Amino acid sequence: MKPSRQITLVAGALLLACMFASILLLRQVDRMRSGATLQEVLYISSPQALKRLSLGYGGLLADIYWTRAVQYFGSKHFAGSQHYDLLAPLLEITTALDPHLTVAYEFGANFLASKPPNGAGMPQRAVELSEFGIRNNPDDWRLYYDLGFIYYMELKDYKHAAEAFARGSQVSGAHPFLRVMAAQMAQHGGELRMAQMMWSTTYQSTQDSDVRANAATHLRALQVEQDVTDLENLAIAYRAKMGHLPGSFADLQAAGTLREIPVDPLGHTYKLTSDGRVEVRTPDDFPFLTKGLPPGYVAPTPRFLPSD
Amino acid sequence: MNSRIPYIASNTFREAVRDRVLYNLIAFAVLMCGASILVGQISIGIERLVVINLGLTAVSLFGVVIAIFIGIGLVSKEIEKRTLYTVLSRPVRRWEFIVGKFFGLAGTLVVNTFFMALGVFLALLYVSQRFQAADAWVLVALYFIVLQFLIITALALFFSSFSSPLLSAVFAFSLFVIGSFAEDLRGFAAMAQGATRWLATGAAYLVPNFSSLNVISSVAHGQGVAATLIFSETAYAITYAAMALCGAVLIFERRNLK
């Protein structure tokens, strides 16, 4: 073998060996360092300083910070965390770097507003973020809708929710439901119907498959809550008539108050307990459900949404 | 234009290609492919934005680095290799040499930008499945980036006409950074008083205004650029590049090459 070929072979083998060793060593270093410590650090917290440092390439930096916010939220949510300390600063930096990045307001406000572990439980920060988004993108009706949504769902502030929907309804091209919602909110209409209307609007207006799946899951939960309320009312009415609670849904059928055995939106039959309560058989399939859950039921975390 | 300038320009272009300058296209292609595939999986709703922001930022930064590092060596390398004496011993004027070098490097950057632009549009097609009318504004952003290259190339040539390659690189890069803060500089000048105000205002107008040539974020959101602005920016970039080139010619004409 020629000396030059020998050198090539040895150098090639050494290169591969060093590459492999460096990967192994890096994995060891990763194990030795605390991931949480690295993740919880925001090296530059000032959005203005970051904007200056971006040298005019703020759009790209905003995309990077938005991805970081999504990853931060996702990892915390996956771990079932109750604290999302960096979420608000990350979103504020993102939107300061690119005030027209509407996706950061739409998703970010929802991440911030929902109660832990589904969100950071910071509805006021979510309101501030949405208001900042509206100031910078006054022609985007979805931002007004998101703001009204937070006021209604998280803060139960019907007056401000109505105002947000009314402002949004005046934007050119706004979804017609905004006007209806503003009116409904002003009258303090039925909460379940209102919630159904809002999630239906989200389902119809979004382009994002994850948001659509999330809206569908909420709508299924609302449908179950409606069914449970109606069926429990039927059981109470049966007791008033017969003097005892029905033993099963077949009793209600026999009494002529129920046409067929009721099923949940995923096709499973409901369970009628001996004390007249109605429960779902597969509660894990209905995240966000507040009614019809078996006593003592604890939702698994993280909750994976059934596909749309 | 006489025939000697295109000849020097084409030689400069060939030299840059021989120096494997266009290899950066491979890095760019990997970056675009990676971003197009990865971002959809790790982020939400910004696939198209990232392709435009990342693509145009990469086009701009790769080009600026090439303009600076090739531009600073255009004169000094010819002196070092003594090829300049061969060129100037022929009927070639010094100013023709500088202008030819400028067009040669500018041409290299335009070709480089053309291929990168193709990459950006292919990545856009991949993530969006179809082109949108607003994507046409990306072409305007690319045009503005080319205008930036004209200025930075002329500046690199200007510095290389009297300074060492290392110092020329430092000067040119510093001016690029300062030029990116040009709007802020003008803001600071407006806040100052008396002579400081005049000096700061003068400095703010003397440094190249790269920030006004950066429309990447707005075109990423589909916002258009007014035709009058395109015309004014073109005129500004050509004027500024011509100014730097004139400075380079003035210095190089008087430089003792013995």
* pLDDT tens string B130-182: 888 888 999 999 999 999 999 999 999 999 988 888 999 999 999 999 998 88
Which residues on chain B are in Cβ contact (under 8 Å) with A214? none
Say yes or no: A110 and A149 in one domain: yes
Say yes or no: A208 and A225 in one domain: no
Give how far A189 is from chain B: nearest CA, Å.
33
Quote the number of domains for chain A: 2
- CA-based nearest residue to A88, from A141, A129, A49: A129
ipTM > 0.85 (yes/no)? no
For the cut 90, the answer to whether the pLDDT of residue A101 exceeds it is yes
Determine if residue A267 is left, alpha or beta; phi over 0 gives left, psi from -120 to 50 gives alpha, anything else beta.
left
Q: Does residue A132 belong to any structural domain of this protein?
A: yes
Q: Which of A115-129, A180-194, A198-212, B57-71 has the lowest mean pLDDT?
A: A180-194
Domain holding A234, by residue range, is: 217-285
Say yes or no: A73 and A158 in one domain: yes
A146: pLDDT confidence band, cut at 50, 70 and 90?
very high
Q: Does residue A302 belong to any structural domain of this protein?
A: no
Q: Does residue A85 belong to any structural domain of this protein?
A: yes
Question: In the prediction, which pLDDT does A232 show?
Answer: 92
Residue A269 has what DSSP assignment? B
Place of tokens 């993108």: A137
Q: What is the pTM of this model?
A: 0.74
CATH number at residue A73: 1.25.40.10
Residue ranges of A 85-114 with Cβ closer than 8 A to chain B: 98, 100-101, 103, 106-107
Say yes or no: A241 and A182 in one domain: no
Question: In the prediction, which pLDDT does B2 show?
Answer: 65
- CA-based nearest residue to B107, from B27, B14, B23: B14
Q: Does residue A91 belong to any structural domain of this protein?
A: yes
For the cut 90, the answer to whether the pLDDT of residue B186 exceeds it is no
Q: Does residue A111 belong to any structural domain of this protein?
A: yes
**A107, B217: Cβ pair inside 8 Å?**
no
Range among A14-28, A86-100, A181-195 rated most confident: A86-100
Which residues on chain A are in Cβ contact (under 8 Å) with B216? 56-57, 59-60
Say yes or no: A168 and A238 in one domain: no
Chain B residue whose CA is closest to A70? B43
Question: pLDDT, tens digit, for every residue of A249-280?
Answer: 988 888 888 888 889 999 999 999 988 899 99
Compute the distance between CA of residue A245 and CA of residue A236 in angstroms, rounded to an integer: 7
Which residue among A195, A213, A231 closes a domain?
A213
Say yes or no: A231 and A149 in one domain: no
Compute the distance between CA of residue A166 and CA of residue A176 in angstroms, rounded to an integer: 11
Which residues on chain A are in Cβ contact (under 8 Å) with B214? 56-57
The SS3 call for residue A110 is helix
Question: pLDDT, tens digit, for every residue of A181-239?
Answer: 776 676 555 567 777 777 787 788 777 777 788 788 888 988 998 899 999 999 999 99
Say yes or no: A191 and A228 in one domain: no
State both tokens at B62: 């790769």
A67 in B contact zone (CB under 8 Å) = yes
For chains A and B, what is the number of CB pairs under 8 angstroms?
A: 65
**A66, B43: Cβ pair inside 8 Å?**
yes
Question: In the prediction, which pLDDT does A304 show?
Answer: 42
Higher pLDDT, A155 or A184: A155
Mean pLDDT estimate for chain B: 87
Q: Does residue A70 belong to any structural domain of this protein?
A: yes
**B45, A208: Cβ pair inside 8 Å?**
yes
CB B74 within 8 A of CB B101: yes
Backbone phi, then psi, for B226, in 5-degree steps?
-65, 145
- Point out which residues pair with A271 in neighbouring strands: A279
For the cut 60, the answer to whether the pLDDT of residue B121 exceeds it is yes
Which residue among A176, A196, A213 closes a domain?
A213
Question: In the prediction, which pLDDT does B239 show?
Answer: 94
Please give the full DSSP string across chain B, using - where no structure is assigned.
--THHHHHHHHHHHHHHHTTGGGHHHHHHHHHHHHHHHHHHHSSS-HHHHHHHHHHHHHHHHHHHHHHHHHTHHHHHHHHTTHHHHHHHSS--HHHHHHHHHHHHHHHHHHHHHHHHHHHHHHHHHHHSS--GGGHHHHHHHHHHHHHHHHHHHHHHHHHTTS-HHHHHHHHHHHHHHHHTHHHHHHHHHH--HHHHHHHHHHHHHS---GGG--HHHHHTT----HHHHHHHHHHHHHHHHHHHHHHHHHHHH----
Say yes or no: A262 and A121 in one domain: no
Compute the distance between CA of residue A115 and CA of residue A155 in angstroms, rounded to an integer: 11
Question: In the prediction, which pLDDT does A305 show?
Answer: 42
Q: Does residue A224 belong to any structural domain of this protein?
A: yes
**A56, B43: Cβ pair inside 8 Å?**
no
For the cut 70, the answer to whether the pLDDT of residue A34 exceeds it is no
Residue A271 has what DSSP assignment? E
Mean pLDDT estimate for chain A: 84
Q: Does residue A27 belong to any structural domain of this protein?
A: no
Which residues on chain A are in Cβ contact (under 8 Å) with B210? 56
Say yes or no: A182 and A230 in one domain: no
Say yes or no: A104 and A235 in one domain: no
Question: In the prediction, which pLDDT does B134 show?
Answer: 86
In chain B, % of residues over pLDDT 70:
98
Say yes or no: A98 and A232 in one domain: no
A71 in B contact zone (CB under 8 Å) = yes
Q: Which of B49, B180, B207 to mutate to test the interface with A (most CBs of A within 10 A)?
A: B49
The SS3 call for residue A278 is strand
**B46, A100: Cβ pair inside 8 Å?**
no
Say yes or no: A208 and A243 in one domain: no
**A55, B180: Cβ pair inside 8 Å?**
yes
